[in-house]
Amino acid sequence: MIKVYLKQAWQLMKQNRFYSTVYILGTGLAISLVMVIAIVYHIKTADMAPEVNRHRTLVANTAVAEHVNGRGTNNAYLSYHTIKECFYTLKTPECVAVAAPVGLLKFFMGSIFANKEGENDMHEVYLGCTDANYWKVFRFSFLEGKPYSEEEFQSGYQKAVLSESLARKMFGKSDVVGSVVQVNGTDYIVGGVVKDVSTAMTESYADLWVPFTTVPTLVNLSMGENLVGFFTAYILAKSPSDFDAIRQEIDRNKEIMNQSQKEYKLKLGENYPPSQTILSITNVQEKKDYKDIILQYLFIALIFLLVPAVNLLGLTSSRMQERIEEFGVRKAFGANRPVLINQVLVENLLLTLLGGLVGLLISYMLVWMFAETLFSDSFFGIEAPVTISPTMLINFSVFFSALCVCILLNLLSSLFPVWNASRKQIVEALNDK
Amino acid sequence: MIKHLFKLINKQWRKNVWIVLELFLVISLFWYVVDFFSVLFINSRTPVGFDIENTYKINMGVYSPNSNNYTQHEAGSHEPAENFLRIIERIRQHPEVEVVSLGHLHYPYCLSSSNTNYKLDSVIISTQILSVTPEYFDVFRVKLSKSNDKTYIENALREGLIISKTINDELSPDVSLIGKTIFKYDDTPTFVSEVTNPIKRHEYSVPTNYIFIPFEEKSLFGKNEQEIWENVDICIRARSGKSAQNFPASFKKEMKNELGIGNFFLADIVPMDNLRKEIFKMESIYKSIQYRSAFTVFFLVNIFLGIIATFWLRIEKRKGEIGIRIAIGSTRNQIQVQMLMESFILMLIALIPAIIVWVNIVRSDLLSTTYLPVTSERIAINTVITLVLVIIAIVAGTWYPAQRSAKTEVAEALHYE
């Protein structure tokens, strides 16, 4: 029966070119903007290399040191002292990695320049200052060599990992393990070269990485009686169900540490730290709740669907008026309302799916063209162009969301008119002209 | 004619309800979307209060202790400060540099700030503190009220507090505060020596409260390079006439060695305009403009499609009616005008509930007041932009079907039935 419907639908489509074109365009328009939202959400929250553990990672960044006499607060990130006392000592998670925020480093340390040893050609770079566990929590693709080990990190050994494009820019090739680079005048030996990371990956993007123990200014930058500083902790849980247990353990460690503090005490928020998924879609500046953000996304998506849906409703409605006669004839021959409704829905579904395909292609184009607006984190100011790889766009969850949106739109725009039109009595319908 | 059209629309209410509903939705939402543009427009018309043409920020770098170029100093040594001041003097001597100013977080478009409260009688206001050397007013062309002479500025800065106009307006609306006293948060009295012109944070904000205190060079002595770096910003005004493209590159090339003293090195010289762009980026102004433009285009295209589809189908249905009108004596022009008027009336019908929505948007405090409070000027501009753009979309959507309907052959049309 479906086959018959589809054949009929194809015929009808060819017969009513104008109607079909406008319907497909309208649907494409509706789908495209909603799909842009869905794609952006997917890229920001799904597990994607090198951030392959997003679903089970907690990100602890902001922290507040509160003066005991209410004289004020110091708001920043975690200091090395806090990390050693509260985070490295955690037993519940699988691993705890620590890194300094790449985009903000420029503001705290000034511009960072890398050059080949002995050469004057300086390249301004985004520097990742991390520990050794960083390479366990994030899965980078090593083209050459390997990252610095735990021993090398602890001893402050000056070893660096380069991105492929930086290696090529500086040396002309990527096989540079063992060469020496200078970062703001300090020598580092290259230990490994990794495949480039897209700037859309906000927690793992950089041009080169070094152990943060080789950057004393960063380690010593702390305020509020050594409680806050400029580090972020990435806590890899064994599974998301451990999140609450980890949060409680952090809270206990914090209380113990606060007991030996005299002037300032560390204050961490409720439900701290948030998971990486939640953090990636909330905005530090606007301080909105996760629920509020999701509601906002859904509301905007609804508007984007609703306005074209009303368009399509009008279109379908007038089309239905023409077919009342046809319905009358078919009813006279024994068709009942559900049969008529089903048929129209299937016909419209064909148009909707075609529109959905058009919309999906438009949304890919929009995401690619406006990548910088959609993904660059304005607060952290990373200025490199955003690269979107095909796997980010073409995958099961994107297609599935597109399909759901199509079906929803179809129901929204066709159900009411056809329900209404098929209501008319046979005689009335046959007489209606 | 209008009455006639109303009758027509009423009769075919069923067919018109969807397009009216769409117009209502779009007009209501559109008003909210364009609000941001109104704010930008209104604010961009007031002067920003400073001039950044030919001004640059000089960024120094500091060698880290494990760098090859690092020279060890003993704690509390005066050498870092002496080196730093030597660097400043060399910058001053450069032939293309007109004025050099030092300060902390004092330059326009600075992202960080230091704030404090001041009060007078019962009014308490929050102010942003800029610590500056007297040259600041020359570098950025900020005007004092009585004189802009170099010595006058030096004295004014040393004798008391220099405040920006909005502080005077808030604490003492009609009387100048020059020579008077205002109070810090802890009730310390402070003498006000001068008032500057209104100064805005950037082109799209309203004027802010700034206070100016002297920047003490001697406070640098005893600090190490990292501490000096954290506490001083260097801004210069270059001689005008020099092409903006060449100056940074040539300055860097010429001064790189001269300014590399001790553990300091010249990192970059940045045109202030770059900082302006950066603050817009950080405050997501560019992003907001892009998003809202996209939504605007989206809504307009939807209306266009909706109108063109509605009216196209309408011609098909009403061929008979149009034929009769032409037969009776309507000119083709009148038929086109009639269609346009029909679509305007549909818009007006959608406008009435939309206005109710607008009123509610304002009442529910949904309009952002970050850059401008809700003024009647703002509301008026929103309305005008919304109506103009929607009318354009409607006219564009009606035009082609109206053309086609006017070309109907009478005999064919009457025969259609």
Among B10-19, B100-109, B131-140, B382-391, the range scoring the smallest mean pLDDT is B10-19
CA-to-CA distance for B263 and B80, rounded, in angstroms? 8
User: Which candidate, B326, B49, B319, places its Cα nearest to that of B210?
Assistant: B49
Whether the complex's predicted ipTM surpasses the cut of 0.95: no
pLDDT in tens, B34-47: 999 999 999 999 99
What share of chain A in percent tops pLDDT 70? 95
**Domain coverage including residue B319:** 2-45+284-416
* Chain B residue nearest residue A420, CA to CA: B14
Q: Which H or E element spans position B303?
A: helix B285-317
Q: What is the Cα–Cα distance from A142 to B197, expressed in whole angstroms?
A: 58
B158 with B273, same domain: the answer is yes
In a domain, B144, yes or no: yes
pLDDT tens for each residue of A252-303: 999 999 999 988 899 888 788 888 888 887 765 455 667 777 888 888 888 8
Can you spell out the DSSP letters for B237-297? EEPTTS-TTHHHHHHHHHHTTTT--TTEEEEEEEEHHHHHHHHHHHTTHHHHHHHHHHHHH
Q: Which residue of B has its CA nearest to A182?
A: B67
Task: Calculate mean pLDDT across residues A47-75.
Answer: 85
Q: What is the chain A residue with the closest CA to B60? A: A110
Confidence tier at A379 by pLDDT (50, 70, 90): low
DSSP output for A218-255: HHH--BTTTTEESBEEEEE-SSGGGHHHHHHHHHHHHH
B287, B277 Cβ separation under 8 angstroms: no
On the 0-12 / 13-18 / 19+ scale of CB atoms within 10 A, A321 is middle
User: Scanning the structure block, which residue is given the tokens 């690269």?
Assistant: A387
Q: Is B50 part of any domain?
A: no
Is there a contact between A304 and B18 if contact means CB atoms under 8 Å apart?
Answer: no
Most confident of A20-29, A251-260, A348-357: A251-260
Chain A residues lying within 8 Å of B111, measured CB to CB: 107
B109 lies in the same domain as B133: yes
- Look up tokens 């801004």; give the residue: B235
Q: Which of A220, A288, A307, A363 to mutate to test the interface with B (most CBs of B within 10 A)?
A: A307
Whether pLDDT at B108 is above 90? yes
Report the SS3 class of residue A389.
Answer: coil
The pLDDT value recorded for residue A245 is 93
Minimal-distance CA residue of chain B relative to A31: B298
Query: In terms of domains, do B28 and B59 share one?
Result: no
Selection from A231, A163, A161, A155 nearest residue A197 by Cα: A163
What separation, in Å, do the N-terminal and C-terminal C-alpha atoms of chain A show? Answer: 29
Exposure string for A191-207, b = 16+ CB within 10 A, e = fewer: bbbbebbbbbbbbbbbb
Starting from the edge strand earliest in sequence, which strands make up the sheet with A264-267, in order? A228-229, A73-78, A63-67, A264-267
Cα-Cα-Cα-Cα dihedral of A104, A263, A83, A246, to 10°?
-110
pLDDT value at residue A285: 47
> Structure tokens of A80?
């090395």
Is some CB atom of chain B closer than 8 A to the CB atom of A416? Answer: no
B141 Ramachandran zone, left/alpha/beta (phi>0; psi -120 to 50): left
Asked whether residue B240 carries a pLDDT value surpassing 70, the answer given is yes
| Interchain contact, A317 vs B15, CB within 8 Å | yes
- Domain endpoint, select from B247, B265, B282: B282
Task: Spell out the SS3 assignment of B329-392.
Answer: CCCHHHHHHHHHHHHHHHHHHHHHHHHHHHHHHHHCCCCCCCCCCCCHHHHHHHHHHHHHHHHH
**Among candidate residues B244, B264, B310, the one with its CA nearest the CA of residue B60:** B264
Q: What is the pLDDT of residue A295?
A: 85
Q: Which of B160, B180, B166, B159 is nearest to B127 (CA)?
A: B166
Element (H, E) at A420: helix A396-421
Write out residues 305-324 of B within 8 Å (CB-CB) of A: 305-306, 308-310, 312-313, 317
Compute the distance between CA of residue A12 and CA of residue A320 in angstroms, rounded to an integer. Answer: 13
Q: Which residues pair with A77 in a beta bridge?
A: A229
Polymer length in residues for chain B = 417
Please return the burial class of B118, using the count of CB atoms within 10 Å of its CB with bins 0-12, 13-18 and 19+: buried
Question: Can you give the pLDDT at residue B268?
Answer: 86
Domain end among B233, B257, B282: B282
Contact between A318 and B60 using a beta-carbon 8 Å cutoff: no
pLDDT tens-digit readout, A110-166: 778 898 887 778 888 999 999 999 999 999 999 999 999 999 999 999 999 999 999
User: Does B278 lie in the same domain as B288?
Assistant: no
Instruction: Give the gap in angstroms from C-alpha A319 to the nearest C-alpha of chain B.
Output: 9
Task: Give chain B positions within 8 Å (CB) of A377.
Answer: none
Residues in Cβ contact with B283 at an 8 Å cutoff, skipping those fewer than 6 apart: A378, B202
For B60, the 3-state DSSP assignment is strand
What pLDDT digit, counting tens, does each position of B281-303 carry?
878 888 888 888 988 888 888 88
- On whether residue B69 sits in a domain, the answer given is yes
B256 touches chain A (CB under 8 A): no
* Interchain contact B297–A (C-beta under 8 A): no
**What pLDDT sits at residue B416?**
57
User: Would B204 be classed as within a structural domain?
Assistant: yes
Assess if residue B333 is contained within a domain: yes
- pLDDT for the residue B161: 92
Asked if A310 and B21 come within 8 Å (Cβ–Cβ), the reply is: yes
- Cα dihedral sign for B13, B18, B22, B28? positive
Distance CA A179, CA A118 (A): 12
Q: Please choose, from the candidates B20, B19, B24, B29, the residue with its C-alpha nearest in 3D space to the C-alpha of residue B308.
A: B19
- The number of residues in chain A equals 433
**Is B152 an interface residue toward A (CB < 8 Å)?**
no
Residue A234's pLDDT band, with cuts at 50, 70 and 90, is very high
- In angstroms, the CA B48 to CA B207 distance is 8
Nearest-neighbour CA in chain B from A293: distance (Å): 16
Asked whether residue B208 is domain-assigned, the answer is yes
Predicted confidence (pLDDT) per residue in B68-99, tens digit: 888 888 888 899 999 999 999 999 999 889 99
Instruction: Look at A400-404, B349-353, B372-376, B409-413 and tell me which has the smallest mean pLDDT.
Output: B409-413
d(CA B42, CA A255): 51
How far apart CA A98 and CA A87 sit, in angstroms, is 9
Chain A CB contacts of B291 under 8 Å are 373
Question: Is the N-terminal amide bond of A50 cis, ω within 30° of 0?
Answer: yes
User: Residue A309 pLDDT > 80, yes or no?
Assistant: yes
Which residue in the set A18, A303, A318 is minimally distant from B15, CB to CB? A318
* % of residues, chain B, pLDDT over 70: 96
Residue B101 predicted with pLDDT over 90: yes
Q: What is the pLDDT of residues A315-345, one digit of tens each?
A: 888 777 777 888 888 888 888 888 888 887 8
B37 and B61 share a domain?
Answer: no
Do B68 and B139 belong together in one domain?
A: yes
**pLDDT more than 90, % of chain A:** 32
Residues B228 and B345 both lie in one domain: no
Q: How close B318 comes to chain A (CA, Å)?
A: 12
The mean pLDDT of chain A is: 85
B131 & B161 share domain: yes
Distance from CA of A235 to the nearest CA of B (A): 28
Does A110 contact B60 at a Cβ distance shorter than 8 Å? yes
Place of tokens 């000034």: A110
Domain count, chain B: 2
For residue A38, give every residue at least 6 positions away whose Cβ sits within 8 Å of its Cβ, in sequence order, or none: A398, A401, A402, A405
Helix (H, G, I), strand (E, B) or coil at B132: strand
Question: Does residue B268 lie in a domain region?
Answer: yes
Tell me what pLDDT residue B242 has: 64
Using CA atoms, how far apart are residues B312 and B323, in angstroms rounded to an integer?
Answer: 16
Structure token digits, residue A135: 């390479």
Q: For the ranges A171-185, A252-266, B77-91, B316-330, which has the lowest average pLDDT?
A: B316-330
Non-local CB neighbours of B318 within 8 Å, separated by 6+ positions: B405
Model pLDDT, residue A381: 59
Q: Tokens 């991105």 label which residue?
A: A163
CB nearest to A185's CB, from B63, B302, B313: B63
Q: Which amino acid is at A2?
A: I
State how far residue B15 is from chain A, nearest Cα, in angstroms: 7
Q: Is the pLDDT of residue B57 over 90?
A: yes
Using alpha carbons, select from B313, B375, B400 the residue that is nearest to residue B16: B313
Residues 6+ apart with CB under 8 A from A306: A412, B25
Give one DSSP letter per residue of B14-47, joined into a string.
Answer: HHHHHHHHHHHHHHHHHHHHHHHHHHHHHHHTS-
Show which of B282, B305, B332 is a domain's final residue.
B282
Shortest CA gap B190–chain A (Å): 22
pLDDT, residue A284, reads 54
DSSP3 helix / strand / coil % (chain A, rounded to 5) = 50, 15, 30
pLDDT at A371 over 60: yes
Average pLDDT over residues A176-194: 92
Shared-domain flag, residues B246 and B354: no
Residues B277 and B289 grouped into a single domain: no
B156 forms beta bridges with none
Mean pLDDT of chain B, nearest integer:
87
**Is the same domain home to B41 and B114?**
no
Q: Which of A158, A310, A318 sits opposite B25 (nearest CB)?
A: A310
Nearest CA in chain A to B27: A307
Question: Which of A110, A215, A311 is opposite residue B229, by nearest beta carbon?
Answer: A110
Q: Are residues B8 and B109 in the same domain?
A: no
Rounded to a whole number of angstroms, the distance from the CA of A250 to the nearest CA of chain B is: 31
Mean pLDDT value across residues A180-205: 90
Residue B229 maps to a domain: yes
Q: Which residue of B lies nearest to A33 if distances are taken between CA atoms?
A: B298
**pLDDT recorded at residue B140:** 95
- Distance, in Å, from the CA atom of B343 to the CA atom of B103, rounded to the nearest integer, reads 61
